[in-house]
Structure 1
Amino acid sequence: MARIPHSTYRLQLHKGFTFDDASAIAPYLRDLGISHVYSSPYLQAGPESMHGYDVVDHHRVNRELGGAEAHERFSKRLGELKLGQVLDIVPNHMSVHRDNRMWWDVLENGPSSRFATFFDIDWNSVEEKLRDKVLMPVLGDQYGRVLAKGEIKLKREGECFLVQYGEQAFPMAPRSLAWPLGRGAALAPSDELNFLASSFARLPEPTSTEREVQLSRHRDKQVLQKLLQRLCKEEPRACAAIDEALEEINNNIDSLDEILSQQNFRLAYWKTSDQELGYRRFFDVNSLIGLRMERQYVFDETHELILYWLEKGLLDGIRIDHPDGLRDPRQYLERLRAKAPEAYIVVEKILEPGEWLRTEWPVEGTSGYDFLNVCNALLVKPDGMEALTAIYRDFTGQPTNFDDITFEKKTNVAKETLASDVNRLTNIFVQICESNREFRDFTRADIRRAIRTVAACFHVYRTYVVATQNEICEDDINHIRQALKEAAERKPDIDPCLFGFIGDVLTLKITGPREAEFVARFQQFTSPVMAKGVEDTAFYDYDRLTSLNEVGGDPSRNGLSVSEFHEYNTHMQQTFPLTMTTLSTHDTKRADDVRARLAVLSELPDRWSQQLQQWSEANRDLRTGNYPDPNTEYFLYQTLIGAWPIDADRTKTYMQKAMNEAKLETSWTNKNEAYENAVASFIDGLFARPAFLDSLKEFVNGINRSGRVNSLTQTLLKCVAPGMPDLYQGGELWDHSLVDPDNRRPVDYKLRAKLLKELQQITPAKFVETVEQRFEDEGSPKLWLTYQALQLRNERPQSFGSKAAYTPLVAQGAAADHVVAFSRGEDVVAVGQRFPQTIAGNWRDTTLELPTGSWTDRLSGARHNGGKIDVANLLDRFPVALLVRDSKN
């Protein structure tokens, strides 16, 4: 029977941190109080994978992590330490790497592949040249130029014939082997080769999707390949003749072009993917192809090993990556739950502000981005945020209406990197219009624009309408209506009847097979539009306060009240009391301590404005012409403040990614090297300027303690609020990492184990005697809080479980708004603070009513009696309090 986690610790596994490395730190995690190791995907991924999301084989454990034997050692070690496992899994997509045998079969055999229906491929493209072919946008230049340069070759590896381009290889279609084999037969000469050439030519065209035809064709092909393999072993002359024939073809550009046209794939310039790609990807990543997980046999094939581990108790839980990419997420989760009824299941569902996870989903909750953003908003000062809007606008000259910015960025993404997805939707909707006489005269161009506009106006990732089951809920109807209303307002030049017709299809007022297909694919489309347009673009453009620019967040939000925080937690306790609560993940834009420090800027906007102007003026001479632009400079100074101490190389690496994501002056696909070089030069200049670095250090020192207090508050909330706390690797100490790859640097576990051992040997009273100086060390206050909170969760699980009460405690007095407090169950109280720079420990007459009984603070050792108590007495020894009712009460 699966164990429900009390806490998880996320580990990023790769060839530099394997199963054996994870086994070595397991005792430390056990001693910290962790109940479950939470691993990144570890099924077989592509070579050199640093994340595991590029799965190539669902039936094997990743060899680079140590393979099945190391996995067995790892699992055994966790069992010995009574640690459970939660695994991240990837149902939405696979890698198109050669090691993916199913994908290789598709490239070899086209629509007649046994696995053609496993992948989300459009074999019936309106483009004749792509009919029954897979576009492979891998070439570095136009196809004709690459061919003329001799960069594409045919080659043989045993009985396997390949199309080679650089380091990439693709399988030749079996029927196309007739040419080189026939020519080889003439050169040898060889009757056997001649027979094989004729036999390969007689194989059925690779267009049939009938299962019997597919299997028969595959059987015949296998027999022919075995005969060819035997012939090559027994007759070296025949083998040499084949190679000679291939060389002839390679040296004749027309012959090579002709044989390439016979393949089931079309090699193309990488830029063609934006407009013509015929398969669904993970967002805009061409190397990750979507799976048709809604098909039972695809589910069964890809989940066999995972379900085996769950059944055997090797895994207690799973985290589902990107469920919004699936055609029907609820169907998938219900299948999974039916197979693993006791498993702890959470989904990486990105919820926008005001959106809740669907209660009908059979899961324990989300992977925690919603909680993370609630904490972010709780710690920023509303009036300060309003002041920051003016400061940002005046310094950068940038727009400050975030809704307008996101609409623009989402529209651009739909026009450019996701244009092939729009084209596919457009093709379907053109057919729908053709079958409705009232709408058949809408042009393809108008339909394309309308689809882009409606998708850009969705304020959530997607809806969950199931047209084939006539399932639609009020929330989905409201999201669709809001998007349609906004689309009509933003694009009055588009006939409103077209928006209305799209709305009728999306809300199931008009139904049919094509309509159902459009609804399903449109819902899969709005997710990448949101992710690529907002999180990966707008979040690097709108930089008012970057601590709010987090996955699922709203950077234009001016904070969250304490009462709204309590409302969120109350809702979660009632609906998903075991959801993950996290502050950092492998995908967060900034680590939690970076955000905690930057939040302090909302408390001192005037000081920030003054410092910003001083730095900008003092560093003017480091600019190259107009570079960096004011928005990049504004963003850079926040980065340095939040991530300090940081060196020039880390800063340049991060800014390189940030600039390309922002797509304002440069991008991954349209490089502006002059701009990028100018920003790198500016950064080098800053780090070579002692006066600037001294000023930066002074500014950071002035807010550092407040940032630490924010960190402790949000760590306390994560560990005690409704849900199950998740720690990202290394984040139990102060962590000022930025987005990947910065947040995937090696973690010093020897240091962490040493500090933990020290903390285990001292009393709370002894710890707080030196707490002030500890704020400047590696992070022992954060480790102390984490350790004490996790130990408490293990000692008193009933106080944090699905039936434990959550009761807000409301402070009274002049500084009441700075206090966030609540009780869990009957015997735990958490007290945190916000806006620490403003309050500066001056609590004046602020009080809090503790429940009756005698209470001991696990963090400071202080004892308190129930009833009204001064907040100053609660927080005078340590910035937050974790109170436990004495058992004798």
Structure 2
Amino acid sequence: MTSPSSTYRVQVRPDFDLDTTAGLAQYLRDLGASHLYSAPLLAATPGSPHGYDVVDPRVVSPQLGGAAALDRLVAALRAQGLGLVADIVPNHMGLFQPAANPMWWDVLKHGRGSRYAGWFDIDWETGPLVVPVLGSPSLDDLRVDGDELRYFEHRFPIAEGTGEGTPQQVHGRQHYRLVHWREGNERLNYRRFFAVTELAGVRVEDPAVFAATHAEILRWVREGLVDGIRVDHPDGLRDPGGYLARLRAAAPDTWLVVEKILERGEPLPPQWPVDGTTGYDALAEVCGLFIDPASPPAPETPWDDEAHERKLDVMGRLFPAELHRLARLIGPAGSAGEDDVEDALSQLAANFDIYRTYLPYGREVFDEAARRAREQRPDLAGAIEALAPRLTDQDDELCLRFQQLTGAVMAKGVEDTAMYRWNRFIALNEVGGDPSRFGVEPDEFHEAAARRHREWPAGMTTLSTHDTKRGEDVRARLAVLSEITAEWAAVQQGWRAVAPLSDSSFEELFWQTLVGAWPVEQERLRRYFTKAAREANRSTSWDAPDAAFEDAVEATLARVFADEELREEVAAFAARITPFGWSNSLGQKLVQLTMPGVPDVYQGTELWENSLVDPDNRRPVDFAERRDLLAALDAAVPPAGGAGSALPPVDVSGAAKLLVVSRALRLRRDRPELFGGYRPVAAVGSAERHAVAFDRGGALTVVTRLPVGLAAGGGWGDTELKLPGGGWTDAWADTWTDALTGRAVASPALGDVLATYPVALLVRG
């Protein structure tokens, strides 16, 4: 198996289908990518903008062009020397439009007698399948239309011989029960993805289900259409390790990465037969390098307390149905009492500091969670002790289902709630991130990078994905605030006095978002702030929107744009931090592209990009602009560089970032021998803390960090690189060339190395 040198992620979707994607092949080759990395390609809910709600895993999505269009895409890629990496979704299928999912439709129609009943994780012992879709508890709006039961735009099948009588009578004879949507979290009797009732869990642990749901994907492997597979959210599966072993056996020569969210210090299970993760762990390490750890703002509440409380909250608010199912597996509660059993399960899940265990691997995580739960709730100690043997026995159904639940609790409690409430510094509030970890020192980064090189050299690295909460350049600009915490506090205090909000935590997110993404369209911000406030579940929520609070947020946002003085203040402050943000952007991008691992570039991020959370980060990308700008760069800055080259400035055009991305990707693709090792390279001198450098085995990355402090200190001064061997010229070569500029670099002085850009990519000889 040969892993990609790099990937470029494209959100293939109905309005940017496979044939349109094929038109990117030459651009991606010119950019330097070796593989196109696509969003899911199997048939999804009609109109799906992302493809993760698969409705038929047996076919390439007709909305994307079908199998013939996939063949055309692969042919276009091969003609340019490129490969394809496909995203797959084994854990769940989409239910939002039941008629679009032939397997789910058949289960609704035939119940336990359906040939697809075994595909889905349904607890039939509790009665008919619960479908929480009604807008009220009333069934008055049901109607019969031929062989279908209709509820407004929703359609459901009528089983044979049950269609006589009123719609309510017909409904009572079906294998399913339509209930008020608010009852879903309490009554649901099928496993879902996290707390999304429109995504039903699939039992891929069953060999027959695996074979049926992976036949098309494995055809792509067998016919050489794909070179790599990205597995979406394996933590929801009953047995992730077993699933991955089966997939590896079926695709032994395919590059295989998993969207496994690793918490700080958590290793990827070493027994998994994969090449690595999709890179959220690398994102945290790289972004942390550009945050000044010297003076973190003081939080109102410790992060661990906030995360624990939110996990407990979602257990009671979103996952009572899952708790009830676990309690049924436990059986008669005895002296502990049913409420105590469910409370004990909730406390245990809330005390997990990772998504889940993979017993017997990770037993120590369970033991620590149990210890903390007993300390917090001594009254539950007996119940916890009684449950522990079963919850750690991997042959016990209770243990397997509890492992599936803890990941959902972490995702909803921390990633989707706490990270919208604990807003002291939102650049850190990312998937797999630790908001309490204020900055990563260079030594810590080097240690992590060396470990990645030893253990997972073919794992993916990333800075932006379709799931990140803000784009990489927004985070890079926010990182500047860590260097000017006192100034930022004063500025923000003034703005909050002029345009206050009733929720102090949300105010933090509001003003940080403004300066991190400015200039940005008002409507994009309005949509983002509505989503962020509802996710926080503090002053408003998805289940119970508070119109007064949301109107107040919208009014405050409108004032920022309408009040000329306030708008100019925001713009002026954003302009003050933007050049330093650009420096951070170039630095973190070059580090990510050249560090150990397979770097991914998310669509459009080769230029400055100020996206926020989805769907904002799935906006259309102007590829024509990027194609033209790259061609202009290549004409102005030929590979040889040198005198006469017109290097782009670090300015609003983003050309400098495109230069960094294209030159780094091309070097990794064309000269892989330069990236076979990893050694930190020290900087010595008065500004040494502002540089990070490492040698990959012939390619030397040098970047600037903490640029505000560097400027305040007068620049690089006497600071220089200290190469292994003690000198600038050594036994390997006499000169170094900057692959970004083509300029010969003859001095180790950082003022010389970084004379053109705040980053350099040096090559011996």
Q: TM-score, normalised by structure 1?
A: 0.83
Instruction: Map residues 267-286 of structure 1 onto 2, 5 A cutoff.
Output: 267-286=178-197
CA-to-aligned-CA distance 1:413-433 (integer Å, 9 cap, x gap): 1101111111111221235x5
Measured in 1, the distance between the counterparts of 2:182 and 2:437 equals 37
* Unmatched 5+ stretches in structure 2: 725-729
The match for 1:565 among 442, 445, 448 is: 445
Q: Kindly tell me: are residues 488 and 765 of structure 1, through their superposed partners in 2, closer, same or farther at Cα, counting changes over 3 Å? A: farther
Counterparts of 1:459 and 1:337 in 2: how far apart (Å)? 29
Whole-Å Cα distance in 1 between the matches of residues 485 and 317 of structure 2? 38
Match of 2:129 among 126, 134, 140: 134
Choose 1 or 2 for highest CA Rg: 1
The counterpart of 1:499, out of the listed 357, 380, 384, is 384
- Tell me if the contact between 1:430 and 1:447 (Cα under 8 Å) persists in the aligned partners: no
Aligned-pair distance for 1:687? 0.6
Q: Which residue of 2 aligns with 1:797?
A: 672
Q: Secondary structure at the match of 2:40?
A: coil
Return the alpha-carbon distance in structure 1 between the equivalents of residues 56 and 521 of structure 2.
Answer: 39
- 3-state SS of 2:252 partner: coil
Q: Which residue of 1 aligns with 2:242?
A: 331
Q: Which residue of structure 1 lines up, in the alignment, with residue 507 of structure 2? A: 633
Find the aligned partners of 1:357 and 1:565 in 2 and give their Cα distance.
18
Matched to 1:711, the amino acid is: S
Partner of 1:448: 342
**C-alpha distance in structure 1 between counterparts of 2:704 and 2:368, whole Å:** 37
Deviations 1:456-485 (A, max 9, x none): 1100000001xxxxxx13xx1211111111
Structure 2 CA distance for aligned equivalents of residues 668 and 525 of structure 1: 22
1:43-68 CA-to-partner distances (Å, cap 9, x unmatched) read 01111100101111112111111222
1:815 aligns with 2:687: yes
Task: Provide the secondary structure at the position in 2 that maps to 1:651.
Answer: helix
Paired residue secondary structure (2:694): strand
Question: What is the CA–CA distance in structure 2 between the aligned matches of 1:165 and 1:604, rounded to whole Å?
Answer: 56
Structure 1 pair 844–503 and aligned structure 2 pair: CA distance change class (3 A): farther
Tell me by how many angstroms 1:519 deviates.
Answer: 0.7
1:832 Cα offset (Å): 1.2
Q: How far apart are residue 769 of structure 1 and its match?
A: 6.0
How far apart, in 2, do the equivalents of 1:400 and 1:21 lie?
49
For 2:173 and 2:256, how far apart are their aligned partners in 1?
46
Decide whether the 8 Å contact of 1:413 with 1:532 is kept in 2: yes
Tell me the amino acid that sits aligned with residue 354 of structure 2.
V
Q: SS of the counterpart of 2:365? A: helix
Q: How does 1:721-740 map to 2 (within 5 A)?
A: 721-740=595-614
Output the CA distance in 1 between the equivalents of 2:686 and 2:136.
67
Structure 2 equivalent of residue 785 of structure 1: 660
Return the letter of the residue paired with 1:872: G
Aligned to 2:740: 859
Local SS of the residue matching 1:733: coil
Counterpart check, 1:58 vs 2:57? yes
Q: Separation in 2 of the partners of 1:587 and 1:427?
A: 34
Q: For the residues of structure 2 that align with 1:374 and 1:857, how far apart are their CA atoms?
A: 25
* Maintained 8 Å contact 1:326/1:524: yes
Deviations 1:353-374 (A, max 9, x none): 1111112111111111110011
AA paired with 1:456? Answer: A
SS at the partner of 1:382?
coil
> What does the per-residue CA deviation read over 1:696-731, in whole Å, with 9 as the maximum and x for residues that have no partner?
111111111111111111111111100011010000
Could you give the per-residue CA deviations for residues 423-448 of structure 1, whole angstroms, max 9, x where no partner exists?
111221235x5xxxxxx311000011
- Give the aligned partner of residue 642 of structure 1: 516
Match of 1:842 in 2: 715
1:655-670 paired onto structure 2 within 5 Å: 655-670=529-544
What's the secondary structure of 2:684's corresponding residue?
Answer: coil
Matches within 5 A, 1:422-501: 422-431=323-332, 440-465=334-359, 472-473=360-361, 476-494=362-380, 496-501=381-386
Q: Report deviation, 1:776.
A: 2.2
Question: Following the alignment from structure 2 to structure 1, what is the Cα–Cα distance between the partners of residues 109 and 326?
Answer: 27
SS at 1:98 equivalent = helix
Of 474, 477, 489, the residue aligned with 1:609 is 489
Using a 3 Å threshold, how does the CA distance of structure 1 residues 768 and 80 change in structure 2: closer, same or farther? closer
The aligned runs of 1:105-254 (5 Å cut-off) are 105-125=106-126, 131=127, 133-142=128-137, 145-147=138-140, 151-156=141-146, 161-177=147-163, 180=164, 249-250=165-166
Partner Cα separation in structure 2 for residue 506 and residue 613 of structure 1? 49
1:766 positional shift: 6.5
- 2:170 corresponds in structure 1 to 259
Question: How many angstroms does 1:647 deviate by?
Answer: 1.9
Q: Shift of the alpha carbon at 1:102? A: 1.2
* Residue identity opposite 1:807 in structure 2: R
For structure 1, the residue ranges without an aligned partner over 5 or more in a row are 126-130, 181-248, 251-255, 394-398, 434-439, 466-471, 621-626
Question: Are 2:292 and 1:381 aligned?
Answer: yes
Answer whether contact 2:336 2:382 (CA < 8 A) is retained. no
- Aligned in 2, Cα 1:565/1:768: closer, same or farther, shift over 3 Å? farther
Q: Distance in 1 between matches of 2:655 and 2:677?
A: 31
Query: How far does residue 350 in structure 1 lie from its aligned partner after superposition?
Result: 0.3
Counterparts of 1:461 and 1:257, CA distance in 2: 42
CA spacing shift, 1:261–1:343, aligned 2, 3 Å? same
AA of the residue aligned to 2:760: A
**Contact 1:137–1:267 (8 Å) recurs in 2:** yes
Q: Distance in 2 between matches of 1:594 and 1:715?
A: 13
**Paired residue for 2:405?**
525
| Separation in 1, partners of 2:642, 2:238 | 56
Residues in 2 aligned to 1:847 and 1:778: alpha-carbon distance in whole angstroms = 31
Matched, 1:833 2:704: yes
Q: Aligned ranges for residues 755-774 of structure 1 at < 5 Å?
A: 755-763=629-637, 764-765=641-642, 771=648, 774=649
Q: Relative to 1, partners in 2 of residues 1:769 and 1:155: Cα closer, same or farther, differing over 3 Å?
A: closer
2:43 maps to 44
- 2 CA distance for matches of 1:539 and 1:650? 20
Shift, 1:155, TM fit: 2.0
Partner Cα separation in structure 1 for residue 513 and residue 506 of structure 2: 10
State the alpha-carbon separation in 2 of the partners of residues 808 and 487 from structure 1.
42
In structure 2, C-alpha distance between the alignment counterparts of 1:856 and 1:32, rounded to whole Å: 20
The alignment partner of 1:822 has SS state of: strand
CA distance in 1 between counterparts of 2:646 and 2:687 reads: 26
Q: Secondary structure at the match of 1:176?
A: coil
8 Å contact 1:768–1:878 — kept in the other structure?
A: no
The whole-number CA distance in structure 1 between the counterparts of 2:498 and 2:433 is 34
Partner of 2:102: 101
Give the one of 672, 675, 685 matched to 2:549: 675
Question: What secondary structure sits across from 2:614 in the alignment?
Answer: coil
* Aligned equivalents of 2:280, 2:205: Cα separation in 1: 26
Match of 1:741 in 2: 615
SS at match of 1:146: coil
Q: When the two structures are aligned, how many residues end up with a matched partner?
A: 750
Contact 2:139 2:168 (C-alpha < 8 Å) held by counterparts: no
Matched, 1:300 2:211: yes
Q: CA RMSD in A?
A: 1.6
The answer to which of 481-490 and 600-609 deviates more is: 481-490
| Conserved? CA contact 1:768–1:877, under 8 Å | no
In structure 1, give the amino acid aligned to 2:706. Answer: F
Question: 1:328 and 1:766, CA in 2 relative to 1: closer, same or farther beyond 3 A?
Answer: farther
- Return the alpha-carbon distance in structure 1 between the equivalents of residues 615 and 356 of structure 2: 28
Compare 841-850 and 694-703 and name the one that shifted more. Answer: 841-850
Distance change in 2, residues 1:505/1:767 (3 Å) = farther
> Are residues 813 and 430 of structure 1, via their aligned partners in 2, closer, same or farther at CA, if it must alter by over 3 Å?
farther
Q: Distance in 1 between matches of 2:390 and 2:439?
A: 37
Letter in 2 for 1:848: L
Task: Give me the whole-angstrom Cα distance separating, in 2, the residues matched to 1:268 and 1:766.
Answer: 73
Q: Counterpart of 1:301 in structure 2: which amino acid?
A: A
- State the Cα distance separating 1:497 from its structure 2 match: 2.1
Match of residue 879 from structure 1: 758
Q: TM-score, normalised by structure 2?
A: 0.96
